[in-house]
Amino acid sequence: MVLEKLESTRKRLESTDDLAKLFKQADKSELKPLTYLLSGRISPAFTGIELGVGDKLVEQAISLSSGKTVAEIEKSYRKTGDLGETGRIILEKKTQTTLSSHSLSVKKVFDNFLKLATTSGEGSQEAKVKLLAELLNNSSAVEGKHLIRFATGRLRTNVGEATIIDSFSTAVAGDKSVSKKIERMYNLTSDLGLVAKTLFENGIAAVEETTPIVFSPIRPALAERMPDSAQIIEKIGECIVEGKIDGFRLQIHKKGSEIKIFSRRQEPMTHMFPDLVKALNEQIKEKEVILEGEAIAFDERTCQFLSFQATIQRKRKHGIAEKTLDVPLRLFLFEALYLNGVDLTSEPYEKRRKTLEKIVEEEKNAGGAKTIGLAKAVYAKKPKDIDDFFEECINEGLEGVICKDLKAPYTAGARKFAWIKVKKSYSGSLQDTVDAVVIGYYFGKGKRTEFGFGGLLTAIYSPAERMFKSIARIGTGFNEEQMQFFSDTLSKIKLKGKPDDVDSLVEPDVWVEPKVVVEVVADEITKSPMHTAGKTKAGDGLALRFPRFIKVREDKTPEDATSEDEVLEMFEMQKQR
Ligand code: AMP
């Protein structure tokens, strides 16, 4: 089975070729499901369809398929620490005694998992157990292991989106020469399955012609950093400088009166923001638009932006109506990406911003405080213009500014100098915070023992190697509520040992799956023999000096964490300052 081979190789080239072969041989109807399954998903994030199968359900399915009791399965699980491995051992014994085993098709696997993800209501639990057990009945023991890992979200194929894209290119062109074109379509649609279908059915020309699709989120453009305003002007010349709002980033899709709102990770969020939906319908009259902005809690009486902690209360599943009243939001738009059939992503920013100004009925036209406005902006010709506006923004309670290249297209899914951020620095600290992934935690001493939590071991991410590399042990910045949160959250994803995609010399008390992203402030980046971030073969790694926890970045996936290259750049920038 291909998954077995992929899991055992970390060499990107080999797996790219294996995957290319697989896609070439695949039946047309299998392309989409195969792509989703390989990326560990059942559907693109924006559909909101998630597998979310718990260990209990899997144990019941193994039991149903093997005749072993759940207690026996749990006993083995405690030994292996890996439910997939437990499944393999148990199914192995079973296949020695039975011979009936049909071979599983991609379609069957996909269909069953899709049903599993979408079944709800009375009796759904048993139905789900049956769906998984049916797959286990028809698979070999090794296949069973992968099916179980897939179901629990722990499939370690080592193939990321970049590898899948390279393999698409290899399948149609023999090498990576069309990867960039394929990646562009992925960045515009966030749907790798659709990319596969378009490419293999209609060819690379169809991929190139793709424009944004309403209700299919565009992957976010990201901001670079620079040491000071003089260097920013030198780099991009005259620019638009906007206030940097510390709320959460939202992408708005509107067709007629239907509105969908997506998070930075392309998850559907519409149901959480009835107030924004209402305001969007009132203030935006265009038929079809894709817009982007930052939502933040706002105190109407004092006209003050509220903290991120206040804003985050609006990200909730229950009690939405009450919170809408308690914590009203404002949405500050900063991008117009699509308008009535016209793709704006390739237009220069200056033009997009002007279009945005026309689209939004702002306060000045309508009177009264409106929920939706534009991010405040000025033109800057010289460094002082940036510095003055920065001061003004900080005084208003904003996080800093973002300088935007007038001529740049929207850099979907990429960090380019089209946007350069300048953040408020905590005194004597690094200019920017680091978004690090939690790879382990420590038990506390003293008061902290009661929480079973005393600190985090964190890492940054190397996309090239697909590895998380340690950068800091964080022991400060947590209040009791946060300690409780970490103790609850991390104990659910703890591992028996260091996972394969983690590179760390430091040992925490407990290793965890690299899943949770935290924002960290530190005094500086220093060389360190203990940490592996930015480490060369002979030399030292890099560490954060005096790291303090700021907040959990729920809006970031582990792969969105600060990258190794960014940390190296920040280290260089620090020397220049
Ligand atoms: P960072 O998360 O520090 O890399 O900064 C980039 C983030 O700033 C974006 O992802 C947005 O969520 C946020 N942001 C706030 N205001 C703006 C703005 N005016 N333009 C672009 N991004 C903004």
Q: How confident is the model over 440-498, as pLDDT tens digits?
A: 999 977 766 777 899 999 999 999 888 999 999 999 889 989 999 999 999 989 998 99
Name the residue of 222, 248, 294 whose CB sits within 8 Å of the most ligand 1 atoms, as the mutation to test its pocket.
294
Q: List the CATH number of the domain containing 120.
A: 1.10.3260.10
* Whether residue 249 has its Cβ less than 6 Å from ligand 1: yes
CA 259/CA 274 separation, integer angstroms:
10
Lookup result for tokens 């998850």: 267
Tell which of 94, 125, 151 closes a domain: 151
Residue 366: per-residue pLDDT? 42
Q: To the nearest whole percent, how much of the chain has pLDDT over 70?
A: 93
* Domain of 557, in residue numbers: 434-576
Helix axes of 31-38 and 106-118: crossing angle, nearest 10 degrees: 70
Cβ-contact 438, 259 below 8 angstroms: no
* Whether residue 242 has its Cβ less than 6 Å from ligand 1: yes
Tell which of 151, 170, 197 closes a domain: 151
DSSP string, 43-104: S-GGG-------HHHHHHHHHHHH---HHHHHHHHHHHS-HHHHHHHHHHHHHHH----PPP
168 within domain boundaries: no
Active site residue 315: no
Please compute the mean of the pLDDT values over residues 181-187 and round it to a whole number. Answer: 98
Give tens-digit pLDDT for 67-77.
999 999 999 99
- Contacts (Cβ under 8 Å, ≥6 apart) of 249: 220, 263, 264, 292, 293, 294, 555
The model's confidence at residue 365, banded by pLDDT at 50, 70 and 90, is very low
Name the residue of 219, 241, 246, 249 whose CB sits within 8 Å of the most ligand 1 atoms, as the mutation to test its pocket.
249
Residue 367: per-residue pLDDT? 45
Residue 364 has pLDDT above 60, yes or no: no
Judgement on whether residues 332 and 404 belong to the same structural domain of the protein:
yes
Judgement on whether residues 347 and 315 belong to the same structural domain of the protein:
yes
Give tens-digit pLDDT for 88-142.
999 998 755 554 555 788 899 999 999 999 999 999 999 999 999 999 999 889 8
Residue 307: per-residue pLDDT? 86
Give tens-digit pLDDT for 187-212.
999 999 999 999 999 999 999 999 99
DSSP lists the bridge partners of residue 216 as 213
CA of 74 to the centre of ligand 1 (A): 45
Give tens-digit pLDDT for 212-265.
999 999 999 999 999 889 999 999 999 999 999 999 999 999 999 999 999 999
* Whether residue 393 has its Cβ less than 6 Å from ligand 1: no
Residue 103: per-residue pLDDT? 72
* Whether residue 223 has its Cβ less than 6 Å from ligand 1: yes
160 within domain boundaries: no
CA of 459 to the centre of ligand 1 (A): 22
Share the mean pLDDT of the chain.
91
Judgement on whether residues 262 and 348 belong to the same structural domain of the protein:
yes
Judgement on whether residues 360 and 255 belong to the same structural domain of the protein:
yes
What is the residue type of 427?
Answer: S
Judgement on whether residues 64 and 133 belong to the same structural domain of the protein:
yes
* Whether residue 555 has its Cβ less than 6 Å from ligand 1: no
302 within domain boundaries: yes
Q: List the CATH number of the domain containing 516.
A: 2.40.50.140
118 within domain boundaries: yes
CA 270/CA 260 separation, integer angstroms:
5
Task: For 259, list phi and psi in degrees, rounded to 5.
Answer: -125, 135
CA 532/CA 515 separation, integer angstroms:
19
Could you tell me the CA-to-CA distances from 355 to 164, 290, 338 in Å, in that order? 36, 12, 10
Q: List the CATH number of the domain containing 399.
A: 3.30.470.30
Tell which of 373, 401, 423 closes a domain: 423
Quote the pTM value.
0.91
Could you tell me the CA-to-CA distances from 156 to 10, 145, 323, 365 in Å, in that order? 11, 11, 39, 54
Ligand 1: which atom is nearest the Cα of residue 432? Answer: 3
Judgement on whether residues 401 and 442 belong to the same structural domain of the protein:
no
188 within domain boundaries: no
217 within domain boundaries: no
Judgement on whether residues 377 and 237 belong to the same structural domain of the protein:
yes
Single out the catalytic residue among 32, 128, 181, 244: 244
Judgement on whether residues 479 and 359 belong to the same structural domain of the protein:
no
What is the residue type of 227?
Answer: P
214 within domain boundaries: no
Give tens-digit pLDDT for 157-174.
667 899 999 999 999 999
Judgement on whether residues 484 and 373 belong to the same structural domain of the protein:
no
Please compute the mean of the pLDDT values over residues 320-324 and round it to a whole number. Answer: 88
32 within domain boundaries: no
- Contacts (Cβ under 8 Å, ≥6 apart) of 379: 238, 239, 240, 241, 385
Judgement on whether residues 393 and 487 belong to the same structural domain of the protein:
no
Cβ-contact 226, 241 below 8 angstroms: no
CA of 399 to the centre of ligand 1 (A): 9
Lookup result for tokens 């003055």: 388
Judgement on whether residues 243 and 339 belong to the same structural domain of the protein:
yes
Nearest residue (by CA) to ligand 1, atom 8, is: 244
Judgement on whether residues 415 and 266 belong to the same structural domain of the protein:
yes
Query: How many domains, the chain?
Result: 3
Task: Return left, alpha or beta for 43; rule: phi > 0 is left, psi -120 to 50 is alpha, else beta.
Answer: beta
Outline where 349-400 has alpha helix (H): 349-359, 363-366, 383-395
DSSP code of residue 562: P
Residue 1 has pLDDT above 80, yes or no: no
Give tens-digit pLDDT for 28-56.
999 999 999 988 899 999 999 998 789 99
Could you tell me the CA-to-CA distances from 453 to 505, 518, 544, 553 in Å, in that order? 21, 16, 21, 19
